[in-house]
């Protein structure tokens, strides 16, 4: 049981390049999330998904797109990378019970992205 | 909008001493509160959560947190700190409706336990 895994671990991009970050979970969780972590700002939600084929915007969605074609995978895309997108990106997943108050999120190890 | 404040960027404590990491929150209705820990170059790990019931919540690695509704606080505590507790700690809150159903995180507190 690997939990939540993220690919790649590190990446350096030039401004304007595109890339896709892959998140996979083997816990049969319904809900998946993408966050970015910046110094002194905690984690901010980019996009999330409450099930296969569905996605929704979080707090900071601009410049990112997501897809959830399979229940176990959640992809985060950057179509035209900007230096402001330099950050550490975390994926998380949760069971997605009816009572969201009790729903605990489990996090991947993160992807460190630098945009030059 | 819901929010979380962690007023201390850095907390230093000597090994064996009690530790407290502070958290206050703002949310409409009853809050669901969480603590996560992040070790260097790792993802966040769940420590504990408050849903309802007893105001003192016990979690992993000997940590506990006290919910205080009147002070809107959810401070993380441990009776005797270990050097291995040194990490970045995040408090988070979840409301019950709309976008508030998503977790909102504080900015984090770096805990350093000195040997």
CB B21 within 8 A of CB B76: yes
What is the distance between the alpha carbons of residues B31 and B70, in angstroms, rounded to a whole number?
12
Q: Which residues of A touch B96 (CB under 8 A)?
A: 100-101
What is the distance between the alpha carbons of residues A46 and A66, in angstroms, rounded to a whole number?
9
Confidence check: pLDDT of B96 > 70: no
What average pLDDT score do residues A68-77 get?
96
A90 burial (CB, 10 Å; 0-12 / 13-18 / 19+) is buried
CB A103 within 8 A of CB A95: yes
Edge-to-edge strands, sheet with A73-78: A4-7, A19-25, A73-78, A65-67
Given pLDDT bands bounded at 50, 70 and 90, which one contains residue A100?
low
What average pLDDT score do residues B76-105 get?
86
pLDDT at B83: 96
Confidence check: pLDDT of A98 > 80: no
What average pLDDT score do residues B52-80 get?
94
| Nearest CA distance, A8 vs chain B (angstrom) | 14
Task: Among A58, A104, A107, select the one facing B43 at the smallest CB separation.
Answer: A107
pLDDT at B114: 97
Q: DSSP letters along A5-50, please?
A: EEE-SEEEE-TT--EEEEEEESS--SEEEEEEE-TTS-EEEEEEEE
Q: Which of A35, A6, A21, A111 is nearest to B102 (CA)?
A: A35
Confidence check: pLDDT of A102 > 80: no
What average pLDDT score do residues B107-113 get?
96
When mean pLDDT is compared across A28-37, A59-68, B100-109, the lowest value belongs to B100-109
Distances (CA, A) of A46 to A6, A24, A75, A78, A108: 16, 17, 12, 12, 15
Q: What does pLDDT average to over chain A?
A: 92
| Nearest CA distance, B59 vs chain A (angstrom) | 13
Confidence check: pLDDT of B99 > 60: no
pLDDT at A52: 92
Handedness of CA B65, B38, B21, A41 (dihedral sign): negative
Q: What does pLDDT average to over chain B?
A: 91
Strand pairing of B10-14 and B109-114?
A: parallel
Given pLDDT bands bounded at 50, 70 and 90, which one contains residue A2?
confident
Q: DSSP letters along B23-77, please?
A: -EEE-SSS-EEEEEEE-TTS-EEEEEEE-SS-SEEE-GGG-EEEEETTTTEEEEE
Given pLDDT bands bounded at 50, 70 and 90, which one contains residue A77?
very high
Confidence check: pLDDT of B97 > 80: no
pLDDT at B102: 80
The fraction of chain A above a pLDDT of 90, given in percent, is 79
Q: Say if the Cβ atoms of A105 and B46 lie within 8 Å.
A: yes
CB B10 within 8 A of CB B109: yes
pLDDT at B100: 46
Task: Among A42, A104, A105, select the one facing B108 at the smallest CB separation.
Answer: A42
CB A27 within 8 A of CB A70: no
Nearest CA in chain B to A39: B107
What average pLDDT score do residues B61-84 get?
96
Confidence check: pLDDT of B91 > 80: yes
Cβ-based interface (< 8 Å): residues of A facing B: 4, 33, 40-45, 48, 58-59, 90, 92, 100-102, 104-110
């Amino acid at each position: 049981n690997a939990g939540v895994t993220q690919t790649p671990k590190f990446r350096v991009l030039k401004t304007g390049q595109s890339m896709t970050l892959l998140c996979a979970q083997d816990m049969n969780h319904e809900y998946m999330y993408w966050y970015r972590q910046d110094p002194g700002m905690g984690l901010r939600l980019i996009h999330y998904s409450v099930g296969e084929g569905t996605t929704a915007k979080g707090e900071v969605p601009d410049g990112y797109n997501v897809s959830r074609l399979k229940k176990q995978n959640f992809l985060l895309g950057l179509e035209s990378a900007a230096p402001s997108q330099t950050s550490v990106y975390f994926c998380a997943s949760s069971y997605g019970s009816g009572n969201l108050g009790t729903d605990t999120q489990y996090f991947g190890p993160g992807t460190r992205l630098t945009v030059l | 909008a819901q929010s979380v404040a962690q007023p201390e960027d850095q907390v230093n404590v000597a090994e064996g001493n009690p530790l407290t990491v502070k958290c206050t929150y703002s949310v409409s209705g009853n809050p669901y509160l969480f603590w996560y820990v992040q070790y260097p170059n790792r993802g966040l790990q769940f420590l504990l959560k408050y849903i309802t019931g007893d105001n003192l919540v016990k979690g992993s690695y000997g940590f506990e947190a006290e919910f205080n509704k009147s002070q809107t606080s959810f401070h993380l505590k441990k009776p005797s700190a270990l050097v291995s507790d040194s990490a970045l700690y995040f408090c988070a809150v979840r409301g019950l409706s709309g976008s508030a159903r998503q977790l909102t995180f504080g900015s984090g507190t770096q805990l350093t336990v000195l040997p």
